[in-house]
A and B are shown apart, each in its own frame.
Chain A
Amino acid sequence: MYQGMLAETVTITGYHDDEIGAYLARPLGPGPFPGVLVIHHAPGWDTATKEIARRFAYEGYLAIAPNLYHRFGPDLAPDDAAAAARANGWITTDQFLGDAGGALRFLRALPVSNGKVGTIGYCSGGRQSFLAACELPIDAAVDCYGAFVVSSSPPELPFRMEPIIDRAPKISCPILGLFGVEDKNPSPDEVAQIDAELTRLGKEHEFHSFENAGHGFFAVDRPMYRVEAAVQGWRLLLDFYGRHLS
């Protein structure tokens, strides 16, 4: 069986109609293919994020990862852009939603799109994937150990993260949550709070918490990587997308 993909940087129209960079990986062939918006984590639009996009293309998805730090410098190396983000208070919620919305429109406009798009994010991106489920027209969302959904960052910090669980009544798609029981942020107690609130609101969701795994267990290039949780997590999320994005 022939299999191929195309991976390249593209320009999309995001928040305030700004043009920003994005990494697009897609299978070759006539489609139609579902789409996935891959949200990079706080360390930036890095190699790991682009590897994840290519994995989704391999699995038959149109995957796009917008450079959420584009405005700090479109040609900056990912670590330099992340340094600029740290120094300048990261990015605003409105800017994220504007850029994510632009990425969704870009995916759905591709001739080979089947019109359905999911989101996925890890760590800070997990929180943003949850946020997208609340605020954007998506068909499925995956939250991988997103912190600060029900809690706030410490008040003494100059850049404070606020909880977003109050937006949950607006969720309009199924959510898959993947967590590690050894994680401190989100802790198992926080995960239970999110689970209970989504149940109370009648929002379709499924949460899985893995033993012997903490924060970041999908990250293949860090000590926190946990092979059993990561392999099982990939199986679960591909099954989830298969049910909701086909």
Chain B
Amino acid sequence: MCSYVVEKTAVIGSAKAAGTWTPITNAVVAVDHPFHAPVDHALIVDFVNAGRPVNERVALELSVASARDLIASMQAALDAFGEGG
């Protein structure tokens, strides 16, 4: 379905696409029909710089299962690192 499930969060960091690094200020997270990934529904993450055009965003579309695996991996890595940063 077109779920309209969208979450937005501010982030501090950078993303690289087409060989160029750019600062990012926000992540827009959705679970909906992807544009490119060959699955019915995907976790869609748009890393954006609020001051830049939307077509300069760095986009991800992950199958729901692989997204859950990735989240677990990210959480495990952060847990192993511990506090601070």
Known pairs A83-B46, A87-B28; A123 contacts B33 (CB<8 A): yes
* Contact in complex: B55, A41 (CB < 8 Å): no
* Contact in complex: B55, A77 (CB < 8 Å): yes
* Contact in complex: A76, B54 (CB < 8 Å): yes
How long is the Cα–Cα vector from A185 to B57 in the complex, in angstroms? 30
Known pairs A86-B46, A87-B8; A183 contacts B1 (CB<8 A): yes
* Of the residues A77, A123, A157, A222, contact of B2 by C-beta under 8 Å: A123
What residues on A are CB-neighbors of B59 within 8 Å?
79, 83
* Contact in complex: B35, A79 (CB < 8 Å): yes
Residues 44-64 of chain B: 1 if any A CB is under 8 Å from the residue's CB, otherwise 0?
101010000111010100000
* Contact in complex: A80, B55 (CB < 8 Å): yes
What residues on B are CB-neighbors of A102 within 8 Å?
none
A contacts with B, residue count (CB < 8 A): 39
What residues on B are CB-neighbors of A76 within 8 Å?
54-55
Looking at A42-50, A109-117, A133-141, A195-203, the stretch in contact with chain B turns out to be A42-50
How long is the Cα–Cα vector from A158 to B1 in the complex, in angstroms? 18
* Of the residues B6, B35, B39, B53, contact of A78 by C-beta under 8 Å: B35
* Contact in complex: B54, A83 (CB < 8 Å): yes
* Contact in complex: B54, A72 (CB < 8 Å): yes
Tally of A-B Cβ pairs under 8 angstroms: 91
How long is the Cα–Cα vector from A192 to B44 in the complex, in angstroms? 32
Residue of B7, B8, B55 with highest tally of chain A CB at under 10 A: B55
**Does B4 sit at the interface, judged by CB under 8 A?**
yes
* Of the residues A72, A82, A87, A124, contact of B35 by C-beta under 8 Å: A82
Known pairs A87-B8, A223-B40; A124 contacts B30 (CB<8 A): no
**Does A224 sit at the interface, judged by CB under 8 A?**
yes
Q: Give B residues with C-beta under 8 Å from A.
A: 1-8, 26, 28, 30, 32-36, 38-40, 44, 46, 48, 53-55, 57, 59
Interface CB pairs A-B, < 8 A, 5: A42-B4, A42-B32, A76-B54, A80-B57, A148-B4
